[in-house]
Amino acid sequence: MNNSFRTEINIPHNPIEITHQDVFMFMGSCFAEEIGRKMQSSGFVVNINPFGILFNPQSIVNCLNRIIHRQYFAENELDFYNNQWFSFWHHGSFACEDKQKCLENINRQIDDSFEQLSTTDYLVLTLGSAYAYLHKEKNYIVANCHKLPQQYFERILLDVQTIEIELKETLSQITQLNEHIRFIFTISPIRYVKYNLEENMLSKSILKVVTHRIVSQEQRSEYFPAYEIMMDDLRDYRFYQTDMIHPNETAVNYIWTKFSQHYFSASTQRIADMMQEINLAKQHIIRKDNGEELKKFQQAMLKKIEQVQLLAPYMSLETEKQYFNHIIE
Angle at 289 between CA 288 and CA 293, to 5 degrees: 80
Q: Quickly state the pLDDT bin for 1 (edges 50, 70, 90).
A: very low
pLDDT in tens, 306-323: 999 999 999 999 999 999
Indicate yes or no: pTM above 0.85.
yes
pLDDT in tens, 8-66: 888 876 777 899 999 999 999 988 999 999 999 999 999 999 999 999 999 999 999 99
pLDDT in tens, 156-199: 999 999 999 999 999 999 999 999 999 999 999 988 877 688 99
Kindly write down the DSSP assignment for every residue of 89-110, as one continuous string.
TS-GGG-BSSHHHHHHHHHHHH
Distance (Å, rounded) from C-alpha 292 to C-alpha 49? 42
Distance (Å, rounded) from C-alpha 303 to C-alpha 310? 11
Number of H helices, E strands in the chain: 10, 10
Torsion on CA atoms 227, 135, 61, 54, rounded to nearest 10: -40
Q: Write the CB contacts of 27 (distance below 8 Å, at least 6 apart in sequence).
A: 49, 50, 51, 54, 60, 63, 64, 123, 124, 125, 126
Distances (CA, A) of 15 to 142, 220, 226, 238, 310: 37, 11, 18, 34, 26
Alpha helices (H) along the chain? 30-41, 57-68, 99-119, 160-177, 197-217, 226-228, 249-263, 266-282, 291-311, 318-325
CATH code: domain 23-264 is 3.40.50.1110
Mean pLDDT over the full length of the chain: 92
How many other CB atoms are there within 10 angstroms of residue 128's CB atom? 26
How many other CB atoms are there within 10 angstroms of residue 12's CB atom? 9
pLDDT in tens, 90-146: 999 999 999 999 999 999 999 999 999 999 999 999 999 999 999 999 999 999 999
SS3 content of the chain, % helix, strand, coil (to 5): 50, 15, 35
> Nearest to residue 146, comparing CAs of 192, 86, 193?
86
Distance (Å, rounded) from C-alpha 151 to C-alpha 77? 20
Distance (Å, rounded) from C-alpha 23 to C-alpha 113? 12
